[in-house]
Amino acid sequence: MRVLTTDLLDLFITRLANTWEVRLPILLPDGTRVIGSPDDGTPALHGGTVLSKPTAAFFPQQETLFTATKGEFQEPQAPDRLLFVLGFTPRDLACLRFIDRFFADGWRDNIYFRQRRNAVVAGLSGYSGPGGSLLPPAGGNCDLELFWDGTLWLAIPYSDSGIKIIAELPDTAPESAMELFRQATLTPPDENENLIKRASELLRADRVPDSFWAEIGDRCIACTGCNLACPTCTCFGVQDWRSATTVERSRMWDSCQLDGFMREASGHNPLGTEALRTRRRIHHKLAADPEKWGEISCFVCGRCDSVCPTGIGILAVTREMVARFE
Amino acid sequence: MFYLVSDKGRVVGVEPSTTHPVSRGGLCVKGWNAFGFVHHPDRLTTPLIRRDGELQPASWDEALNLVVEKLRNVQERHGADAVMFASSAKATNEENYLLMKLARAVFGTNNIDHCARLCHSSTVTGLAETFGSGAMTNSISCIDQTDVIFVIGSNTTEQHPLIGSRILNAVRNGTSLIVADNRRIRLARHAELHLRHTNGSDVALLLGMMHVIIRDGLADHDFITTRTENFAALAAAVADWTPERAAVATGLEAVEITTAAHLYAGAECAMIFYSMGITQHSHGVDNVRCIADLAMLTGNVGRPGTGVNPLRGQNNVQGGCDMGALPDLYSGYQKVSDPQQRQKFARAWGIEELPTTPGLPLTRAMNAASVGLLHGMFIMGENPMLSDPDQGHARTTLENLDLLVVQDIFLTETAALADIVLPAACYAEKDGTFTNTERRIQRLRKTVEPPGEACADWQIICDIAERAGYQGMRYSSPAEVMDEIATLTPIYGGIAYDRLDTHGLQWPCPDRSHPGTPLLHVERFTRGLGHFSPVIHRLSAELPDDEYPLVLTTGRTYFHWHTGSMTRRTHLLDREEPRSFIELHPDDAARLEVRDRDMLLVSSRRGNVQTEARVTTMVIPGVVFMPFHFAEGAANALTNNVLDPESSIPEFKVCAVRVEKLP
């Protein structure tokens, strides 16, 4: 375990940027924190919620799949430099692990792995949660983790890359920080995780009536934010841009809250109402994915609840569901 | 508000601001997809000049010299007012200000207007007369502080989704909601009272409500006495408008009108929200007057959680008005007819004399051109071929101009008719400011370079001025333009880029130390006393008859924006709403033997279009609804080019049509 003090942070990031294409939480002019390049703003590794999902570094909202010019196909080149993405909370790392499985399963998604392969993934924990809350260490699922004790970062490596990257940092971790780290590892699962599990049980036992979904769906304005903010949502749409000589095919994040997501060419839609679509969104995470992947695919990051303008993010809905039907 | 995500010179996504007081971490579907058209291959990348009947690539030098030469030529032959400049509610404040300056200072005409003419000119006229200021009186955050929300003529969850969401949240927290709109919009499903009055009968409904309020002692006489004038005239005008009479005129039950009046007037704080359903009528200004009267009658102005709140639809339609892209006003609503104001602007711009008579509103300019009284148009970022009423009339007019210059990001249906096309940068490719519906002036920051040779509108305008021999439009950046705006525009007096970094400022903001104004008319109205402005009920210009038995009302859908030049080139948005449609009540559908998704021929006295049936109880029997976004099946091929006599807004909301099933 090494130590990164705040006075060394800029230098640490500068050195990283010599080797890697760095993405990390930065502060924008209005106080919003996003995952961006060090050139985009001031690094801000702690201080509130980061709404942007760090998984977007590997699966961006829109990306080119190929271009075809006069019959010749060209795939985008692999990035010049590998990505170093800092900013995954322990929950985000669980999401990343999940979508790594998803994109590797069956037909391996080379577009995703073009960015993901050999990228360095760095976690953030300690007092870097929303509102300065304590996030327990991830303890893995990444190359290295930075644990904020309120004054300095403990740097914990989990891979060879991680060991190399923090090798030059001092190894003089203060005992107080070490003790906090040990205590934090013992943090029990929070009530939201239990809530999600209980809601999952209800759904799988078919104990949530259609009338509930009608009520929730009636509040959906189809902004699609819940899907687009979700680190485990992987659905995408495909478009072709045609000019006189070239076709560019790209994909972009799609949303199961949209009518067109499941609309058939005939015009019929098996998910033709907000109620059915909202049910599907929650059901997919809490009931279908456990069947397919052996685990619930909501890792309680809270982003859909943050972006939903009408309060029907997954936590809000499951809270209501559990209160009414358990 | 959102940030753009870019990667290697391309915009690849958006991120919502988490701290913004309006968006609060959320976005609507158009916001989430706002990047989708930026790099579209249809973007204009080079100037185009029509040669041998075809638009052909040209250099900037050629194109801009030709613009100046031809504009001058038209003016020499037909006078300075033979040309019209159309500015854009999608362009920045700085660009609107500069086009206004170009028209007035360089080309010597007040013929400058923009598409606010088509959406909220009734508001600007109606609220200026009653309150002294034609903008939202309150802030969006006031939704959290009110007891009753009265939404009339606004499909808020679809057209202003974050404001609509906030209203839905307020209702869940106990606020009462009245919706007056005969379409069963989402808000109506959550309303305590849904008034499905007939199209064009808003004045009757509002007069009826005011009658009840006065009759039942619910008027705020303290407010009326201390803050307003001309109450006696209002009281006289509503005296005969019993709820029973209003019921006949609106198609409602008298008790609905009484209930609405009691609910609205009985609240400690009540807000009114309205939009095109109020403004786009041949009596749009009268509708606005009634709304202002209703709010003053109950003292619902000048306090948090109250007010008259016209929702502006485009990103900068408020700013377009603020910047004086209007034929009778300079920036900050200063009148061109006022010699002192004229002198102030002339001195600042280094011009001996500015034109004295107000120019033509956009809609009247089109009419003037159609009868040979106007010969040239310079259109920046507007698409009248789809947005103006009576498309046939719009097409003939534009085709017959001696000169049509269009500056845009795509070859729109209008640009396709132009003599010269100038390729502009889109919002992601330039700096500037926009002013939102709650008068909040906010920064726009350049993220990527424009495609090819496309240039920011402000740079093109300044280049034209220079080539026209005017040296007073040399700016190093939009920030410098804003500094000039601030010196000439009292309500923007304290605006400078270094003050807008976080969440902007709400005007009026008269000086550098002023914190901005979330709430208008607090202790006095902008005009001094609020002025009650009684109106008489007038019918819409074209009512259904045997030949055209249905009322057509037009509007927008959630997924598209205006003429669709951007949203129809955004994959997910166009996938959601890919084609023109008409909403038809099941009773009408049964009578016409029409089923859902049948192709229909819709005809009016202006023309006919083919469109797809959507059989739904969203509309009431006898009324059909069409969105105007689609070039194929264009609703505005049908609409009636009849104008409000004061605001010159067209009557998009009511005309008569016939619907037939296509074989």
Q: What is the 3-state secondary structure (H, E, C) of A153-202?
A: EEEEECCHHHHHHCCCCCCCCCHHHHHHHHHHHCCCCCHHHHHHHHHHHH
Query: How is residue B631 written in tokens?
Result: 């070039």
For tokens 């008489």, name the residue.
B536
For residue B64, the distance in angstroms to the closest alpha carbon of chain A comes to 27
By CB atoms closer than 10 A (0-12, 13-18, 19+), residue B573 is: buried
The pair of structure tokens assigned to B40 is: 């579209």
Q: Which amino acid, A154?
A: L
Distance CA B28, CA A249 (A): 25
Q: Is B571 in the A-facing interface, judged by CB distances under 8 Å?
A: yes
Same domain, A103 and A240: no
Q: What letter represents residue B528's amino acid?
A: G
Task: Give the contacts of B611 (CB within 8 A, at least 6 positions apart).
Answer: B579, B580, B581, B582, B599, B600, B602, B626, B633
Are both A178 and A220 inside the same structural domain? Answer: no
Q: Which residues pair with B86 in a beta bridge?
A: B113, B379
The pLDDT assigned to B612 comes to 97
pLDDT at B92: 98
CB contact B512 to A (< 8 Å): no
Give the whole-angstrom CA distance, residue B217 versus residue A292.
Answer: 66
Q: Kindly report the nearest CA distance between residue A212 and chain B, in angstroms.
A: 16
> Rounded to whole angstroms, what are the CA distances from B17 to A30, B141, B304?
8, 16, 25
**What is the reported pLDDT for A1?**
86
| B532 occurs within a structural domain | no
Distance CA B304, CA B271 (A): 9
Is B79 in the same domain as B107? yes
Q: What is the mean pLDDT of each run of 10 residues along chain B (663 residues)?
A: 88 94 95 96 98 97 98 98 97 98 98 95 96 94 97 96 96 97 95 98 98 98 98 98 98 98 98 97 98 98 97 93 97 97 98 96 97 97 96 96 98 98 98 97 97 98 98 98 98 97 95 97 96 97 98 97 95 96 98 96 98 97 97 96 97 98 93
A209, A143: one domain = no
Q: Which of B279, B310, B341 is the last residue of a domain?
A: B310
Task: State mean pLDDT over A143-157.
Answer: 95
pLDDT digits (tens, 9 = 90+) for A206-222: 999 999 999 999 999 99
The secondary structure element, H or E, covering residue A248 is strand A246-253
- Do B502 and A29 lie within an 8 Å CB cutoff? yes
Judge if A290 and A212 occupy the same domain: yes
CB of B172 within 8 Å of any CB in chain A? yes
Say yes or no: A180 and A50 in one domain: yes
pLDDT of residue B311: 96
Q: How long is chain B?
A: 663
Residue B540: inside a domain: no
Question: 3-state class of A297 per DSSP?
Answer: coil
Instruction: Check if A306 contacts B (Cβ < 8 Å).
Output: yes
ipTM of the complex: 0.96
Is the same domain home to B80 and B196?
no
Asked if B377 and B484 sit in the same domain, the reply is yes
Name the domain boundary from A121, A153, A187.
A187
What is the count of residue pairs from A and B with beta carbons less than 8 Å apart? 126
Give pLDDT, residue A70: 85
The pLDDT tens digits of the residues spanning B177-215 come to: 999 999 999 999 999 999 999 999 999 999 999 999 999
Token pair listed for A112? 């995703």
Is B534 inside a domain boundary? Answer: no
Give yes or no for a contact between B325 and B114, defined as CB atoms under 8 angstroms apart.
yes
- Statement to judge: residues A140 and A205 lie in one domain: no
Q: How far is CA A276 from CA A91, A272, A273, A307, B604, in A?
A: 28, 7, 5, 21, 39
DSSP H or E stretch at residue B30: helix B29-32
Are residues B59 and B26 part of one domain?
A: no
Mean pLDDT of chain A: 94
B558 contacts chain A (CB < 8 A): yes
Question: Domain of B297: which CATH number?
Answer: 3.40.228.10
- Residue A234 sits in the same domain as residue A321: yes
Taking the C-alpha atoms of residue B358 and residue B375, their distance in angstroms, rounded to an integer, is: 18
3-state SS, residue B329: strand
In the 3-class helix/strand/coil scheme, how is B503-519 assigned residue by residue?
CCEECCCCCCCCCCCCC
User: Of how many residues is chain A composed?
Assistant: 326
State how far residue A198 is from chain B, nearest Cα, in angstroms. Answer: 25
In-domain check, residue B544: no
Q: How many CA atoms lie within 13 A of A156 on its CB side?
A: 19
Same domain as B411, residue B267: no
Q: Is A224 within 8 Å of chain B by CB?
A: yes
**How many independent structural domains does chain A possess?**
2
On the question of pLDDT at A85 being above 90, the answer is: yes
Encoding tokens for residue A23?
Answer: 């993405």
Sort out which chain B residues have CB atoms less than 8 A from A225's CB and list them. Answer: 16, 26-27, 32
In a domain, residue B536? The reply is no
User: Does residue A201 share a domain with residue A153?
Assistant: no
Q: B25 — contact with chain A (CB < 8 Å)?
A: yes
pLDDT at A49 > cutoff 80: no
- pLDDT value at position B64? 98
**pLDDT score recorded for residue B629:** 96
On whether both B500 and B636 belong to a single domain, the answer is: no
Question: Which CATH number fits the domain that encloses residue B479?
Answer: 3.40.50.740
d(CA A194, CA B99): 60
Q: What 3 state SS string does B473-498 have? A: CCCCCHHHHHHHHHHHCHHHCCCCHH
- Residue B8 pLDDT: 85
> How many separate domains does chain B show?
4
Q: Quickly list DSSP for B210-235.
A: HHHHHHTT-S-HHHHHHHEE-HHHHH
**pLDDT tens, A272-285?**
999 999 999 999 99
Q: Domain for residue B525, yes or no?
A: no
Both B291 and B177 in one domain: the answer is yes
Given this model, what pLDDT does residue B466 score? 98
Whether residues A196 and A260 share a domain: the answer is yes
How many angstroms away from the CA of B7 is the closest CA of chain A? 10
End of a domain among B295, B310, B325?
A: B310
Provide the pLDDT for residue A187.
84
A241 vs B contacts (CB less than 8 Å) = 39-41
**A310 touches B at CB < 8 Å:** yes
Please tell me the predicted confidence (pLDDT) of residue A266.
86
- What is the tens place of the pLDDT at every residue in B368-424? 999 999 999 999 999 999 999 999 999 999 999 999 999 999 999 999 999 999 999
- pLDDT for residue A189: 80
Q: Are residues B246 and B349 in the same domain?
A: no
Question: What is the nearest CA distance from A48 to chain B, expressed in angstroms?
Answer: 10
Do B271 and B244 share a structural domain? yes
The answer for A 123-152 residues in CB contact with B (under 8 A) is none
Residue of B161, B189, B571 lying closest to A223 (CB–CB): B161
Ramachandran region of residue B566, left (φ > 0), alpha (ψ -120 to 50) or beta?
A: alpha
Q: Give B132's DSSP letter.
A: S
> Cβ-count burial of B631 within 10 angstroms (0-12 exposed, 13-18 middle, 19+ buried)?
middle
B452 within domain boundaries: yes
**CA–CA separation, B32 vs B16, rounded Å?**
8
* Contacts with A244 (C-beta within 8 Å, 6 or more apart), sequence order: none
How close is the nearest chain A Cα to the Cα of B48, in Å? 17
Q: What CA–CA distance (Å, rounded) separates B509 from B515? A: 7
Q: Last residue of some domain: A187, A220, A245?
A: A187
Instruction: Give the sign of the dihedral formed by CA B260, CA B262, CA B267, CA B270.
Output: positive
Q: Looking at the predicted structure, is the pLDDT value of residue A244 above 90?
A: no
Residues A117 and A136 in one domain: yes
Q: Is the same domain home to B430 and B576?
A: no
- Residues spanned by the domain of A205: 192-325
Quick one: A310 and A263 in the same domain?
A: yes
Q: Mutation target for B interface from A53, A61, A114, A248: give the one with most B CBs within 10 A.
A: A61
In a domain, B538, yes or no: no
Under 8 Å between Cβ of A289 and A318: no
DSSP assignment of A17-76 equals: HHHSEEEEEEE-TTS-EEEE-GGGSEE-SSSS---S-GGGGTS-SEEEEEEEETTEEEPP
Q: Decide if A60 and B5 are in contact by the 8 Å CB cutoff.
A: yes
Q: Which of A187, A216, A248 is the last residue of a domain?
A: A187
CA distance A68 to B355: 55
The sign of the dihedral angle between the CA atoms of B645, B649, B650, B652 is negative
Chain centroid to CA A48: how far? 16
Q: Does residue B147 contact residue B177 with C-beta atoms inside 8 Å?
A: no
Whether residues B561 and B651 share a domain: the answer is: yes
Q: Which residue range is the domain that position B27 belongs to?
A: 1-35
pLDDT for B7 equals 86
Alpha carbons B529 and A3: distance in angstroms, whole number: 67
Q: Are residues B111 and B53 in the same domain?
A: yes
* Contacts with B290 (C-beta within 8 Å, 6 or more apart), sequence order: B202, B203, B206, B207, B210, B535
Are residues A123 and A248 part of one domain?
no
